[in-house]
Structure 1
């Protein structure tokens, strides 16, 4: 049986890896390890199809070490023993252990000494948060790296390579991939290259060629192979961004009917991920401090949607959309942090005041660190006036509260009360 295209197109050396340049680009941590041949065990975590296995196989290909793949959930301790025996006989082995968060304690206890002596370079792969799901004994012996979804440009690059490669890819076929079909492959897979390659291969192998042998892959064929409809067929490929933009602007404008319409478009296209991401952003960007409980309810709705999936996911998301549309609005938080970031970007923001600097080490007092700091809990109402911002910014007011909800009205009153007391106290 022929191996899948996604398997055949796995990179054979680190330079062939698509995406993840924050890890494998020139001068980055994994590239440095490979160049110096000083590998350490690591855990790669991130969504499916983003290159965890590819990174492991590319590391092995670039370093010429033996490469073995096991699954922590389905492979037994016996398989681990075979890999360790091989490492003892022939030298270092790179072991990709998929679903490492499901590694049992007996398997873990067997592996640990071999990680420490360097016989096994473990590359654990997981979609779970390793700081929560993976045993501390494994975490302490590995470096943890986040693998991110690929961009549309990166997926397009990988598709182009697969179409051209005559040995491992589809280059021997006379394929014509419509621009709209390629764009949909890049967008609808949400950064999952494996899904994009699988759909492309299915389309190529299941589409009848024309009389001249040309296999034309249209948007309709890709929609069928992905089981994910495009939002609309538009020439410029802007429909996805237009719908997402209209979705957020409709909620921001408190139009529940329009927002439900654009949510329906996203869900009809199977784009649950974009709907969820946008709702979480909207909850904190546009409703924000005017109604923080609406944001909390949105998080709960998105969590429910992710657990139950489509089509039932439409129900909690519709609740969230209506809730956000009719909630009071405030963008004061995003405006405040953006104003602070603007000052950071401009530079010249000054040093941390000496009394706020870390004083928990010997010799700090000699450097003037922490002297004259007033511990607020020792004063009435657990507050005392003292300077917190650096000198050049000490009169800055980033937060500009609004009056669009009872919660932020209360925050505004407290903020102004404290700022007034602070100004008076600092001028005594």
Structure 2
């Protein structure tokens, strides 16, 4: 492979910790990681930070700094079997540094395998995650690791990175690139060094060699819009894609639902996030028109958490198709929202005496629970009585949708008919 075929971020990957940009709080003079390395000490670590800030590179350079073997694994394609093989093959004399990218995607059994190896000193673990490790990493494993937060690169960091690239990379030097404006480069990079360098590489590939080329905002925007398929898990497209996914389910289109799900998975979205969104949709958009949808979505979430990628894509797909092809109703979603709004406006209304709990003699003497009619003492286990405060008598919050499964039961019809008759008599 020629040098120009190697992506620019890889061509410029730092070869020493001093070349890392934007993480001085960890690697600067007297910073914690710098002090540990100077003392020849490297504990197990979890790096938490956004994409493209150097988590993988720093892990590799830390291992080199203490002269330890470095083993890099991805949570996306490493199962428990492969993990145990790596641990078993680790040397008895030299403890390797095992780097796990996207460690938050490991399920409990995978994290437990790591925990045992860390406890016994078979490996030094360095995990990288874009998610809050407090929520995504096993507490027992987390307690045995130092957690360090890496920052997104700021505007000065991105500019320094680009200047370094133009100075060091031969391909860029041959294009005689001059940066006229940095604004668009910084904006599209969004704090991500990898994005910044890939974009610069794309722009340079559109230029001719041996002539002066000016990079301004217009050039950056044109190239970015034509070439970069961006997926920022914390940015606008993240919300656009999940919105399209949920709306496709709501609109009963399984093909579109699968497509948008695939886009999210390809972009690196956490499958647990997708499963959680389907669990919400199962209640909000399907509800009692098909109660099994909520059960299936709940089991989908538990299965995804237990299995992880890549196998959990099958479970996600099955659930998405089931939800998309199910009958739809938002009646309970509307009802609970109406109830919350009503509760907000009427929170001062007391509970009617006949509905109150009466655990003491004094409460009973004050009328708590008096005149309550126990439904099971009546035919069909039903008796007419009011359950709302008198001021809200006759209020309807729930209106069933008209579908085969969600229809007003005979009891609800009877109750509301009796209420109507009672109101007419008054």
Does residue 173 (structure 1) correspond to residue 171 (structure 2)? The answer is no
The residue that corresponds to 1:100 in the other structure is 103
Q: Give the drift of 1:307.
A: 4.9
* Aligned residues of 1:164 and 1:170 also touching (Cα < 8 A): no
The residue that corresponds to 1:37 in the other structure is 40
Does residue 148 (structure 1) correspond to residue 151 (structure 2)? The answer is yes
Q: For residues 217 and 305 of structure 1, do their structure 2 counterparts lie closer, same or farther at Cα, with a shift above 3 Å needed?
A: closer
CA separation in 1, counterparts of 2:171 and 2:124? 33
CA separation in 2, counterparts of 1:189 and 1:67? 29
* Aligned residues of 1:41 and 1:143 also touching (Cα < 8 A): yes
1:133-163 Cα deviation digits (max 9, x unpaired): 1111221111111111111111111111111
Q: For residues 82 and 204 of structure 1, do their structure 2 counterparts lie closer, same or farther at Cα, with a shift above 3 Å needed?
A: farther
- Greater relative contact order, per chain length (Cα 8 Å cut-off, separation 6+): 2
Choose from 228, 239, 244 the match for 1:308.
239
After superposition, the CA RMSD in angstroms is 3.2
1:166-245 → structure 2 map (5 Å cutoff): 166=169, 170=171, 172-180=173-181, 182-209=182-209, 212-227=210-225
The residue that corresponds to 1:346 in the other structure is none
Q: Give the drift of 1:121.
A: 1.7
CA separation in 2, counterparts of 1:158 and 1:305? 25
The residue that corresponds to 1:17 in the other structure is 20
Q: For residues 207 and 55 of structure 1, do their structure 2 counterparts lie closer, same or farther at Cα, with a shift above 3 Å needed?
A: same
Unaligned runs of 5+ in 1: 229-269, 274-302, 314-428
The residue that corresponds to 1:389 in the other structure is none
Q: Give the drift of 1:104.
A: 2.1
Q: For residues 200 and 106 of structure 1, do their structure 2 counterparts lie closer, same or farther at Cα, with a shift above 3 Å needed?
A: same
1:124-135 → structure 2 map (5 Å cutoff): 124-135=127-138
Q: Alignment length, in residue pairs?
A: 239
* Aligned residues of 2:48 and 2:129 also touching (Cα < 8 A): yes
Q: For residues 305 and 150 of structure 1, do their structure 2 counterparts lie closer, same or farther at Cα, with a shift above 3 Å needed?
A: closer
* Aligned residues of 1:14 and 1:61 also touching (Cα < 8 A): no
* Aligned residues of 2:180 and 2:214 also touching (Cα < 8 A): no
Does residue 159 (structure 1) correspond to residue 162 (structure 2)? The answer is yes
Does residue 50 (structure 1) correspond to residue 48 (structure 2)? The answer is no
* Aligned residues of 1:204 and 1:217 also touching (Cα < 8 A): no
Q: Give the drift of 1:7.
A: 2.2
Does residue 112 (structure 1) correspond to residue 115 (structure 2)? The answer is yes
TM-score, L = length of structure 2 = 0.50
CA separation in 2, counterparts of 1:174 and 1:85? 49
Does residue 28 (structure 1) correspond to residue 61 (structure 2)? The answer is no
Unaligned runs of 5+ in 2: 245-426
1:365-417 Cα deviation digits (max 9, x unpaired): xxxxxxxxxxxxxxxxxxxxxxxxxxxxxxxxxxxxxxxxxxxxxxxxxxxxx
* Aligned residues of 1:159 and 1:197 also touching (Cα < 8 A): yes
Larger radius of gyration: 2
1:164-207 Cα deviation digits (max 9, x unpaired): 114xx645523313221x33212332211110001011111232
Q: For residues 112 and 164 of structure 1, do their structure 2 counterparts lie closer, same or farther at Cα, with a shift above 3 Å needed?
A: same
